[in-house]
Amino acid sequence: MKIKKIARSKSRKSAARGRMPAVRSSRKATVKVEQETIRLTVNGQPYELEIGNRPNEIAPSHTLAHTLRETLGLTGTKVSCDNGACGCCTVLINNMAVLSCMTLTVECDGKKITTIEGLKDPKTEKLDPLQQAVIDYTAFQCGFCTPGIIMSAKALLQENPSPTEEDVKEALSGNFCRCISHYQVVKAVMAASGEVR
């Protein structure tokens, strides 16, 4: 089932790093939804979510970050600034890095979403090479922003398995971390790119 019509007022597109268009904030958007459910696939698991304002329903104003964390219990996606400036909430939508705090859940009907929890192998539970490289190179400290960094890097490696250091820096330019030096992150991504190849 597709969303028949979503009317948005004063929406803003995120031009940063080619991310998909996103609504500035669910609190400032006017959304008209002419359907009762949305279907999306999160980490390979299909979901059908009812739209409404009752408990266990997705309000038209809910962001994808809110739905992932509060409705689906996928708390690996972090919310820090909640206005698209830090990159902590980055997830993949149809393999593109997207700020989930800036994207309404109702915009995701029919989409494939991958969160940090969806990177490991579901059968063997082995970590993705990128996750392992972040551990091996100690490219994290408190870890709060790490899921967003990993998801941005994953999008880069899916698009370009052989990035240069400059490509990595550009791809991660929207991810803000107060704890670590980004040098370790760049080294981890470069090491993971060697394994992916």
Whether the CB-CB separation of 119 and 128 falls below 8 Å is answered with yes
Q: Is the pLDDT reported for residue 21 higher than 50?
A: no
User: Does the global pTM surpass 0.85?
Assistant: no
Q: Which two tokens stand for residue 172?
A: 């991660």
Beta-sheet pairing, 6-7 with 32-33: antiparallel
Mean pLDDT lowest among 25-34, 143-152, 160-169, 174-183: 25-34
Q: Is the pLDDT reported for residue 127 higher than 50?
A: yes
**pLDDT, position 10:** 35
Predicted confidence (pLDDT) per residue in 31-53, tens digit: 555 679 999 999 999 999 999 98
What is the rounded average pLDDT of the residues 47-75? 94
What is the rounded average pLDDT of the residues 13-32? 40
Write down all domains in the chain, each with its CATH number in brackets. 6-117 (3.10.20.30), 129-196 (1.10.150.120)
Question: Which residues, at least 6 apart from 116, have a Cβ–Cβ distance to it below 8 Å?
Answer: 76, 77, 91, 147, 150, 151
**pLDDT, position 32:** 56
**pLDDT, position 151:** 98
Whether the CB-CB separation of 25 and 83 falls below 8 Å is answered with yes
